[in-house]
């Protein structure tokens, strides 16, 4: 009875091409976050389940139904983290005296959701998390949006490729208080705003009327003061594709201030790519000192789709610059020495061990995407001249042993 070679359902195997793309994402995330002075942290995927249940019964239900949660052998309930925010809140609360605020942190965790596997709905994905703790300033809100913008640019996107829509949960909450809406009506209002761009204008207006909310209070022309302050700062640092959108409310209960979403403007992928906003009191579950924060999360699958639609996916490059094939077993020791010589110059070299015929060695190097190949045989060793074969077209270029390293480093 043979085992299946498939991965567990809903998760991915990362073959070299996939892993190279993931590494490109991670490197770009890191570059941009560090430019803004964010420090990287990380944690185990295993967390005590109570970390996610703490926010109330609704969360306890989410934990038991939508996460990987199990008992360890000591009877403790453990969860594979479904998001990073509770973890970073825990870590910041633990060392709040050692950190200086405002505190800038980022992480690139894998996160897990228990979902029925289906196209585009994975059980595990990687997610950049960027958070700024300890400032109430609108400039902090603006910075988080600026980091999002710079990420999009670092991936090769133009301003016309995406739009940053900004809303205000603080404004909506103030409106709810001002109009004295009860909890049910307040939820209906948030739900209605969330659907605004998916329904007809008349339906939206009618919904507002039913709730007794004057429609001019929620028109795109009526920009709340906090959003305007953020827009002014973004404009001052040269960002031209941010705008107020009253429909941006974000589902998560913990948002309390300015919220935003970055939308793809491409007609084939016209959807929210990622977003975030301001939250408060996330550390209140650990102690009595709350810390305010603003942040966002960005998933690897969504970014892959965006880059694919835009033709911005980077090409795969094999890690090997040159493959040394051997005419026979006898040349293996010589090939290994040549390989080591080239490595000392910074060339990435793999050598064959002569288990197969020369033609098969060449075929296998090409299969693995290696760009160049050099045959090491008695003639080449004696003459000191090697033929460098370009495996993409078969062209050959002669090079002396001394010239070999620079040949590859120049390409």
Under the criterion CB under 8 A, does residue 367 sit at the interface with a copy of itself? yes
The binder of a copy of itself chosen from 301, 364, 381, 399 (CB under 8 A): 364
The binder of a copy of itself chosen from 24, 28, 45, 281 (CB under 8 A): 45
The binder of a copy of itself chosen from 21, 29, 47, 298 (CB under 8 A): 47
**To the nearest whole angstrom, how small is the minimum distance from the Cβ of residue 285 to a copy of itself?**
5
At 120, give phi and psi (nearest 5°): 80, -5
Sheet holding 77-80, edge to edge: 46-48, 77-80, 69-71
Only one of the segments 219-227, 259-267, 283-291, 299-307 lies at the binding site for a copy of itself (rule: CB under 8 A); that segment is 283-291
Q: Which of residues 92-151 bind a copy of itself (CB under 8 A)?
A: 93-95, 98-105, 110, 112, 114, 123-124, 134-137, 139-140, 142-143, 146
Tell me, letter by letter, the H, E, C secondary structure of 55-114: CCHHHHHHHHHHCCEEECCCCCEEEECCCCHHHHHHHHHHCCCCCCCCEEEEECCEEECC
**To the nearest whole angstrom, how small is the minimum distance from the Cβ of residue 172 to a copy of itself?**
24
Under the criterion CB under 8 A, does residue 20 sit at the interface with a copy of itself? yes
Under the criterion CB under 8 A, does residue 375 sit at the interface with a copy of itself? no
Only one of the segments 66-74, 259-267, 272-280, 304-312 lies at the binding site for a copy of itself (rule: CB under 8 A); that segment is 66-74
- What are the residues facing 298 on neighbouring strands? 128
Q: What is the DSSP letter of 391?
A: T
Under the criterion CB under 8 A, does residue 76 sit at the interface with a copy of itself? yes
DSSP E strand stretches across 113-241: 124-133, 162-168
DSSP E strand stretches across 103-249: 103-107, 110-112, 124-133, 162-168, 242-244
Under the criterion CB under 8 A, does residue 411 sit at the interface with a copy of itself? no
The binder of a copy of itself chosen from 60, 179, 211, 332 (CB under 8 A): 332
Size of the site for a copy of itself (CB under 8 A): 107
The binder of a copy of itself chosen from 24, 28, 41, 358 (CB under 8 A): 41
Under the criterion CB under 8 A, does residue 358 sit at the interface with a copy of itself? no
CB-based contact 125:10 (threshold 8 Å): no
300, two tokens: 């690897």
Q: Which residues contact 289 (CB under 8 A, 6 or more apart)?
A: 96, 283
Please say which residue, 146 or 168, places its beta carbon nearer to a copy of itself: 146
């Amino acid at each position: 009875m043979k085992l299946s070679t498939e991965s567990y359902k809903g998760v991915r195997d990362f073959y070299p091409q996939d892993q190279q793309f993931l590494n490109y994402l991670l490197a770009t995330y890191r570059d941009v976050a560090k430019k803004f002075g964010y420090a990287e942290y990380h944690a185990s995927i295993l967390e005590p389940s109570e970390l996610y249940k703490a926010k109330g019964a609704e969360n306890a239900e989410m934990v038991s139904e939508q996460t990987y949660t199990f008992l360890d052998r000591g009877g403790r309930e453990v969860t594979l983290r479904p998001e990073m925010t509770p973890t970073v809140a825990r870590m910041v609360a633990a060392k709040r005296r050692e950190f200086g605020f405002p505190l800038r942190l980022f992480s690139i965790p894998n996160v897990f959701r228990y979902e029925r596997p289906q196209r585009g709905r994975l059980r595990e994905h990687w997610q950049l998390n960027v958070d700024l703790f300890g400032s109430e300033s609108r400039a902090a809100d603006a910075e988080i949006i600026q980091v999002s913008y710079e990420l999009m640019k670092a991936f090769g996107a133009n301003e016309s490729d995406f739009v940053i829509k900004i809303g205000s949960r603080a404004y909506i909450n103030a409106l709810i208080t001002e109009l004295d809406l009860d909890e049910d009506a307040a939820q209906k209002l948030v739900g209605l705003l969330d659907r605004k761009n998916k329904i007809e204008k008349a339906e939206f207006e009618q919904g507002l009327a039913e709730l007794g909310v004057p429609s001019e209070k929620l028109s795109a022309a009526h920009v709340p003061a906090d959003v305007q302050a953020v827009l002014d700062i973004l404009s001052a640092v040269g960002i031209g594709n941010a705008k107020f959108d009253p429909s941006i409310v974000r589902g998560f209960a913990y948002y309390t201030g300015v919220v935003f979403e970055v939308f793809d403007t491409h007609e084939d992928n016209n959807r929210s790519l990622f977003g975030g906003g301001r939250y408060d009191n996330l550390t209140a579950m650990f102690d009595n000192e709350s810390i305010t924060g603003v942040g966002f999360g960005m998933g690897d699958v969504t970014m892959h789709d965006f880059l694919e639609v835009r033709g911005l996916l980077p090409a795969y490059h094999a890690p090997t610059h040159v493959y040394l094939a051997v005419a026979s077993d006898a040349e293996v020791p010589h090939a290994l020495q040549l390989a080591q010589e080239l490595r000392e110059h910074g060339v990435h070299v793999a050598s064959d061990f002569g288990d197969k015929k020369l033609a098969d060695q060449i075929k296998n190097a090409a299969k693995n995407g290696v760009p160049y190949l050099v045959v090491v045989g008695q003639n080449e060793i004696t003459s000191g001249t090697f033929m460098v074969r370009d495996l993409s077209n078969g062209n050959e270029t002669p090079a002396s042993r001394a010239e070999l390293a620079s040949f590859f480093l120049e390409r």
